Amino acid sequence: MLLLSACQPTSSDPFIDPEDVILVEVDGRPISLPMLEYMMAQRGVDEDDHEAMREVLEELIRLRAVANAAEQDGLADQSEVRAQRALRDMETLQLRYFSRIHEEYPVTDEDIRVVYENQLRRSGDRQFRLETIVYPSQAQALLAIASLEDGETDFASLREQARSDGLVVEPTGWVDRSQVGEELAPLFVEAEADDVLSAPLQTPQGWRLVRIAEQRDLQAPALEDVREGIARQLVRQRLEALVEDLYQASEITPMLPLEEAAAE
């Protein structure tokens, strides 16, 4: 019945294609078949469920009636509303574009396997539980390491002094070589329990003097246990790279200095 009563669009709505089937007009504004199909998909309504389809169409008509009233009251001309609609349009296009790219260039089993094997190589065959002293500066951490290497003190004395000075002394959970950064990872290859690394680890909290408290064999997860996580990571990395490439390739023409835009 909907298809038999449909007509061609009579308005200049930017989101209605001339080829779209129009199901109904509300005060001259169209509701198209693609709009109905999209909302049905969002609601999980099957095309054979005519009663539910009618309810969705009624919801669309009410939505269109309210939107018409808002436009008549001038809300569509407000700068904030125009900005919100423009941003929503861009976000919708971005999501659709990402979906198309993912369909055309899916993550393959081989891609996942390569990432998994590379991670195993970076992790090594052992895990370590560390004890760290956080120094405010690199120079202080290096001086502490030098005093250890010269035999002037030991880690227990440094730890006690650090606590007296109000510095943070804390253990870590179990980590592997891939979690300590590229600069420190080589130091763990030959390291043993109770060793203090010959270089400090830079963190947002400060420079950490690192002692290996314990070590154990690494029990790596099976590929099947991490497959979905790797796939999500690859998708995210590819999309981030795509956005950066499109950004770099774009012709960006400043139309107003930022200071003037902020003032406006």
By percentage, how much of the chain surpasses pLDDT 90? 81
Question: Is pLDDT of 69 > 50?
Answer: yes
pLDDT category at 261 given cuts 50, 70, 90 is low
Q: What does the H/E/C string look like for 76-99?
A: HHCHHHHHHHHHHHHHHHHHHHHH
Output the pTM of the full model: 0.69
> How many whole angstroms separate alpha carbon 251 and alpha carbon 150?
59
Question: Is pLDDT of 152 > 60?
Answer: yes
pLDDT category at 12 given cuts 50, 70, 90 is low
3-state secondary structure of 210: strand
pLDDT for res 262? 60
Owner of token pair 């329990």: 193
pLDDT for res 7? 47
Give the least confident one: 8-12, 98-102, 113-117, 255-259: 8-12
DSSP one-letter string for 106-148: PPPHHHHHHHHHHHHHHH-SEEEEEEEEEESSHHHHHHHHHHH
**Are 161 and 168 a contacting pair, CB within 8 Å?**
no
pLDDT for res 99? 95
> How many whole angstroms separate alpha carbon 186 and alpha carbon 124?
10
Give the least confident one: 135-139, 147-151, 239-243, 257-261: 257-261
| All structural domains of the chain | 1-73 (no CATH), 124-217 (3.10.50.40)
pLDDT for res 263? 60
